[in-house]
Amino acid sequence: MRTSAGTGAVELCGPRDPATGPALLDAVRVRLAETGAEPTPARVAAALRSQGRLLGDSAVLRVVEALRSEMVGTGPLEPLLADPQVTDVLVTGPEQVWVDRGSGLERTEVRFPDAAAVRRLAQRLATSTGRRLDDARPWVDARLPDGTRMHAVLPPVAVGSTCLSLRVVRPRAFRLAELITAGTVPPGGDRLLRAMLDARLSFLVSGGTGSGKTTLLSSLLGLVGPRERIVLAEDSAELRPDHPHVVRLESRVANQEGIGHVSLRDLVRQALRMRPDRLVVGEVRGSEVTDLLIALNTGHEGGCGTVHANAAADVPARLEALAATAGLDRTALHSQLAAALDLVVHLVRDRSGRRRIAEIHVLERDRDGLVTTVPAAVWGAEGFVPGRGRQRLEALCARGGGAW
């Protein structure tokens, strides 16, 4: 790996470096693969000699650095993932590496030698998770050992080059004070959020992709009393609540023989048998919504989760569509929903990239018996602005003795 003079661009042993060009690297890579050896300086030097190449110490070390970058961790993407501000790393080609630091996508100066290098990295990362990524299975969605969420698609499904997406999971949850500083929670908004948790209200955090749903939910779960037991059911273990008693369940895909599949719905059912004080579904995206609503209707107060929706008002329709996959009709779904769910906390991401709580809605039934949402607290620069559902929200929060 080296930096191009005058540009600061990082190149992984590009073709302009004859000592460590792609052809030579491939030859050394094959030689080491045959023996299963790690790319130590001595072994790399021996592999080079076998190719009839005698290089100086600095050139050998450049080869070692390049090979280790490919074989360990996330290779040239490692510095990007180590940046505490980075939430996503997206690779769409050997010279197109993007990051999101909370203000929208930025193109970086990281470069791969060629499309084959991107493919090798994606396949190696997939292998580290026990998953297969090849022409027969050209995409993979998995979690890396450090918790990073990985998705990759190979050509020709991905046109031109392998596409690699990495979603960073931070080792700890943000505190509410940090979310206020970041602008996610308005000033004084923490009082309302604490009152919600103290009253054991059941809620969903809604929003679009990348709006901060998991981040906010992790922070809120940290407000749960230390004597309560939180049981998490997730497709990919991303929630990191700062709480002393957390049980984490993660779904599992079938193996290459087609067996061993564990669905999110299976996890929700098992979680109910684990004496949860708070049942949490990381992301409601399918038939498991019926099990969650049934649980919240049978004494499991304070449950929560996240759901994709463009607006808080769209959540009932979104849940209706998901419940249909489990055979639950519209009338039954709305009956369950009215009794099970108290609030919807909706997040948005504005054009500047800032994630914030746009509004908090309470639920009520209309004349036809269908559940609709009513804004009770709306984002304001100086704090939440009361909406039409304020009295209902105050009554709900009063169950725990809280106010806002």
Contacts of 197 (CB under 8 A, 6+ apart): 220, 223, 224, 302, 400
Fold of 75-167: Beta-Lactamase (3.30.450)
Domain boundaries along the sequence of the chain: 22-72, 75-167, 176-400
Q: Using omega within 30 degrees of 0 as the cis cutoff, is the peptide bond preceding 113 cis?
A: no
pTM over 0.85: no
Q: Write the CA distances from 328 to 81, 311, 332, 335, 348, integer angstroms.
A: 42, 23, 6, 11, 29
Q: Write the CA distances from 266 to 57, 173, 335, 342, 364, integer angstroms.
A: 56, 26, 23, 25, 30
Q: What is the pLDDT of residue 35?
A: 59
Q: What is the mean pLDDT of the chain?
A: 85
Q: What is the pLDDT of residue 44?
A: 66
Q: What is the Cα–Cα distance from 278 to 301, expressed in whole angstroms?
A: 7
Contacts of 18 (CB under 8 A, 6+ apart): none
In 165-235, alpha helices (H) = 176-182, 189-198, 213-221
pLDDT digits (tens, 9 = 90+) for 191-227: 999 999 999 999 999 999 889 999 999 999 999 999 9
b/e for 207-217, b at 16 or more Cβ within 10 A? Answer: beebbbbbbbb
DSSP element (H, E) containing 269: helix 264-271
Residue 16: band (very low, low, confident or very high) from pLDDT cuts 50, 70, 90? very low
DSSP element (H, E) containing 291: helix 288-296
Q: Are the beta carbons of 11 and 1 closer than 8 angstroms?
A: yes
Q: What is the pLDDT of residue 363?
A: 96
Residue 157 clears pLDDT 90, i.e. is over it: yes
Q: What is the Cα–Cα distance from 35 to 136, expressed in whole angstroms?
A: 27
pLDDT digits (tens, 9 = 90+) for 329-368: 999 999 999 999 999 999 998 877 789 999 999 999 998 8
For the domain covering 176-400, report its CATH number.
Answer: 3.40.50.300
